[in-house]
Structure 1
Amino acid sequence: MKKNLKTTILMSGGPISLSLLLSLGVVQPALAQTSGDAAPAATPAEAAPSSSPSAADNTAAKADQTPPAPTGFWDRANLFGDMGGLRPWLGNYGITVNLQETSEYLNNLSGGVKRGGAYDGLTQFGVVVDTQKAFGLPGGTFNVSGLQIHGTSLSQRNLLTLQSASGIEAEDTTRLWELWYQQSLLAGKVDVKVGQQSLDQEFMVSQYANAFMNLTFGWPILPSVDMPAGGPAYPLSSLGVRVRAKPSDALTVLAGVFDGNPAGSDVGDPQQLNNHGTNFNLHNGALFIGEVQYAINQPPADASAAQPAGLPGTYKLGFWYNTQRFADPRFDTAGQSLASPASTGVAASHRGNYSFYAVADQMVWRPSADSPQSVGVFARIMGAPGDRNLVDLGVNAGVTLKAPFKGRDNDVVGLAVGYAKIGSHAQGLAGDTASLTTPGYPSRSSETIVEATYQYQVTPWWQLQADFQYAFRPAGGIPNPENPSQRVGNELVLGVRTNIVF
């Protein structure tokens, strides 16, 4: 969401605009949730060469048997191929260059504050350096990435939903996104990442949810509205340190500490306050985050090894804690409702904010171990205290079918639901407003999004996506700016997205 959306919501509330501002905190950014995979950093196993002669011999034998990568225009992995030999030449020095463009058009056919369509787009570019190949430093990875964001936000202009219709909607700008160095230690069992990081790349991630376009299926709605500036997630990031340990093949532990507010301030539009992503500050409190991941029936690293009999799945438990102070959405410093004419107008504040969450991704069906067809399900649930947050419960879940039709091995069709419950104090404020100052003022409860989508893989480098979304009680039932006694109506949104990997 953007500043104009918040302004609209605030102005619609008349006497409670200040309290709504305090309950919203800051404008939340969207996740760079694209159908194409972002270029990953080298894993510890990739960064460190094998010291076993037999393993090296096996690797060489496999390389001899592996067919060369397709080079035909419609078959290669990137639109530009090897760029006249530039990509392999850079690869010899450990340098990988990534570029992709995501463009989409969304149109709300019913509901909202008005109807119409909007185009928005995102160009992502990045460079990853394997320091062993580049400088002879084993186990190191350097990453820098940037964003060029363009177009118009339908969610801001027409919908006023908390769960934005697209995960790439953001303020138009060209900005630095991530800038970090990662070092592998203890034979790949541990790695440490230091620098400007976007948490949506590693924390709270759901494999199957990534097929959907709505914001909440990428960086979930609860941290998007409850963390200052939406948290260190697309299009923002924060300085920090992340440690990852892998005690066993099944178990992974992530932990990190980051600057508490990627915007650098609690006043104003956070994306404009950090317009180019270069606010490298450490003076806004601290954000602590931790996550434990448990994977079952994962394919072995050695393709020749026996495949697991069961279906793969990943289960995660995590928490975050922010040390800043957070405004109460309902009560002022004197304990009166902010909707009361006698209120001081200054919200009470609470020290710290926190959330616990769980994520599950599980394949539930496939015809055989080597079949491209499969059905996967996902679920995420997270909660936060209702006395300092606009959303105190966020849930999303869905199902995806890969290879839905014969010959369409890389297509994906999916159905998902996102639910955001308005916090207890924010709900109470709406009730106070109706009873104290504005009879008939709408109550607030929850917002629900239903999304159906189809990803059509035209070529390995080009994907088209058709999308349907329906929003029930946008923003939990906020008043329509044109008629504050009525809620913003339920919304039907249709969209199409294209993603090209260059």
Structure 2
Amino acid sequence: MGRPPAVRRWLLALSCVAGGLPAIPSAFAQTVPDAGSTPAADDGLWGRDTLFGDLGGIRSRLGDAGVQLSLQETSEVLGNVTGGVHRGAIYEGATLATLSVDTGKLLGIDGGTINASAFQIHGRGLSATNLDNLNTVSGIEAPPSTRLFELWYEQSLLGGKAAIRIGQQAADQEFAVSQYGALFVNSGFGWPTLAAIDLPSGGPAYPLATPGIRVKAQPTDALTLLVGLYNGDPDDNGSGTSFRVDKGAFLIGEAQYAVNGDGDGLPGTYKLGAWYNSNRFADQRFDDNGLSLADPASDGVALLHRDDWGLYALADQMIYRVPGTKDQGLGLFARIMAAPGDRNEVDLFVNAGASYKGLLAGRPDDTAGLGVVYARIGARARDLDADVAAFSGSGRPIRSGETVLEATYQAQIAPWWTLQPDFQYVFSPGGHIPDPEDPSRPIGDAAVLGLRTTVTF
């Protein structure tokens, strides 16, 4: 008996990527090159840090002048073999180019860094195409575009104990970031799903950076404090060059505490944070007259609330280190974020998991991971669903929440190349929303298979 057409299409796409399409790191958090360093000596194709090596000495000469260039490409295929709105497979990719300048070396301004980065995003996302779910199955899924990402200047102060960064920035590059969660493909392990859904345009996070200012202070070796102030809605003209500052304010602050950073014990980092947005937010159930938005007598204009806010906590902790190694072993992570349910579709977000580097003998740089993501629909949004069912007399599903389980394995083929097979299972896509092809039933649970490959040029 032959395979179903959707499965055959998925296998064909998977084989194309396995055949050599290039890609980018698993967690889509930008790593700023160290402009003060010089590239290491070329150790041959399989030992060098980048595919193209030192380019005949060009990178070394630029590094000596304080200039670092980086180019990374991510390609992946993902397909849902069961569930979702439709079954099938997609290809998507994103290219990230970054320029970093040490102003001390190049311009004589000690302690300064200039950073510029841009994306070329291509393909189509599985969540938007086939699943309609909350926790986007890939952290690189975004509308196709060629766009400026970040463009900022940072100045180190007080002997490196403080720094200020000014310019176009994305908060997800520094705030609410989990070290061990960075392994995973699902976007919920990066910028929290709650913020991505509730904040205007998803907040200042991939692929939308926005003008802002960030202050960092490190009063002790263990304690780090971050505060960032950004434009309240990063929606732009599609090229990343609108540089708007007139859409309210988004303020986020975070305290980080590191334990055993000296290497003697098992390292860990614990973070507490809060965010605030000054824009107006629509009530999830009531109109401006106090009627349910589902009531036929409603004017359909949602009650507006002033401001929005959220709290979060995060923990990364290594619990076992392979003897004689620095970072091989088992690390655990957990993160929680909450926001008011009257003005937010998602009012609670949780993720957790485990990451093990060097699990297989002879593969010290490979990393395996198992994680879970949960996004809960707020009570007021659930009540609106019940109102819709009552007023329409239909048996429409009522939303509750969405859970995603992910198992992944990142194989380090070379310092510049990784391959990452991935499996996700999405429970109640969209939080148990109606299937558009049959509103009397919810979208079916989805099993997602994928392969991501990363190349640093």
Task: Name the TM tier (shorter chain).
Answer: over 0.9
Deviation of 1:197 (Å): 0.2
TM-score (norm 2): 0.92
Deviation of 1:68 (Å): 5.9
- Answering whether residue 248 of structure 2 is matched by residue 256 of structure 1, we say no
Give the equivalent residue in structure 2 for 1:75. Answer: 47
**Structure 1 segments of 4+ aligned residues over 6 angstroms from their partners:** none
- Answering whether residue 424 of structure 2 is matched by residue 469 of structure 1, we say yes
Report the residue type matching 1:407 in the other structure. G
CA–CA distance in 2 between the matches of 1:148 and 1:181?
23
Matches within 5 A, 1:442-481: 442-481=397-436
Deviation of 1:101 (Å): 0.5
Report the residue type matching 1:98 in the other structure. S
Give the equivalent residue in structure 1 for 2:291. Answer: 336
Report the 3-state secondary structure (helix = DSSP H, G, I; strand = E; otherwise coil) of the residue aligned with 1:85. helix
CA–CA distance in 2 between the matches of 1:226 and 1:235?
16
Alignment equivalent of 1:435, drawn from 390, 396, 407: 390
- Answering whether residue 105 of structure 2 is matched by residue 133 of structure 1, we say yes
- 1:440-492 Cα offsets, whole Å, 9 max, x none, are 01111010000000000000000000000000111111101011111000000
- Answering whether residue 31 of structure 2 is matched by residue 39 of structure 1, we say yes
- 1:51-106 Cα offsets, whole Å, 9 max, x none, are xxxxxxxxxxxx9xxx9644201100000000111101111110000000000000
Structure 1 residues 287, 36: CA separation in 2 closer, same or farther (over 3 Å shift)?
Answer: closer
Give the equivalent residue in structure 2 for 1:285. Answer: 248
Give the equivalent residue in structure 2 for 1:172. Answer: 144
Give the equivalent residue in structure 2 for 1:17. Answer: none
Structure 1 residues 35, 220: CA separation in 2 closer, same or farther (over 3 Å shift)?
Answer: closer
Contact persistence 2:403–2:428 (CA under 8 A): yes
Alignment equivalent of 1:345, drawn from 300, 307, 332: 300
CA–CA distance in 1 between the matches of 2:340 and 2:453?
39
Contact persistence 2:32–2:115 (CA under 8 A): no
CA–CA distance in 1 between the matches of 2:321 and 2:410?
19
Deviation of 1:34 (Å): 2.9
CA–CA distance in 2 between the matches of 1:435 and 1:112?
26
Alignment equivalent of 1:405, drawn from 349, 354, 360: 360
Deviation of 1:183 (Å): 0.1
Contact persistence 2:335–2:350 (CA under 8 A): yes
Contact persistence 1:33–1:218 (CA under 8 A): no
Matches within 5 A, 1:26-425: 34-35=26-27, 38-40=30-32, 42=34, 69-263=41-235, 273-299=236-262, 307-308=263-264, 310-370=265-325, 373-425=328-380
CA–CA distance in 2 between the matches of 1:344 and 1:195?
42
Deviation of 1:40 (Å): 2.3
Deviation of 1:406 (Å): 1.3
Report the residue type matching 1:358 in the other structure. A
CA–CA distance in 2 between the matches of 1:201 and 1:39?
8
Contact persistence 1:297–1:311 (CA under 8 A): yes
Contact persistence 2:171–2:228 (CA under 8 A): no
Report the residue type matching 2:345 in the other structure. L
Give me the identity figure in percent. Answer: 53
Report the residue type matching 1:462 in the other structure. W
Report the residue type matching 2:330 in the other structure. V
Contact persistence 1:35–1:499 (CA under 8 A): no
Deviation of 1:156 (Å): 0.3
- 1:180-223 Cα offsets, whole Å, 9 max, x none, are 00000111111000000011110000000000000100111010
- 1:390-421 Cα offsets, whole Å, 9 max, x none, are 10000000001100111101100010000000
Unmatched runs of 5 consecutive residues or more in structure 1: 1-31, 48-62, 264-272, 300-306
Structure 1 residues 37, 292: CA separation in 2 closer, same or farther (over 3 Å shift)?
Answer: closer
Structure 1 residues 406, 33: CA separation in 2 closer, same or farther (over 3 Å shift)?
Answer: closer
Report the residue type matching 2:252 in the other structure. I
Structure 1 residues 453, 138: CA separation in 2 closer, same or farther (over 3 Å shift)?
Answer: same
Report the 3-state secondary structure (helix = DSSP H, G, I; strand = E; otherwise coil) of the residue aligned with 2:386. helix
The count of corresponding residues between Structure 1 and Structure 2 is 434
Contact persistence 2:25–2:454 (CA under 8 A): no
CA–CA distance in 2 between the matches of 1:444 and 1:33?
33
- 1:238-257 Cα offsets, whole Å, 9 max, x none, are 10100000001000000011
Report the residue type matching 1:276 in the other structure. S
CA–CA distance in 2 between the matches of 1:70 and 1:278?
37
Unmatched runs of 5 consecutive residues or more in structure 2: 1-23
Report the 3-state secondary structure (helix = DSSP H, G, I; strand = E; otherwise coil) of the residue aligned with 1:224. helix
Contact persistence 2:32–2:98 (CA under 8 A): no
CA RMSD of aligned residues (A): 1.7
Give the equivalent residue in structure 1 for 2:381. Answer: 426
Structure 1 residues 78, 33: CA separation in 2 closer, same or farther (over 3 Å shift)?
Answer: closer
- Answering whether residue 455 of structure 2 is matched by residue 483 of structure 1, we say no
Report the residue type matching 1:357 in the other structure. Y
Structure 1 residues 399, 167: CA separation in 2 closer, same or farther (over 3 Å shift)?
Answer: same
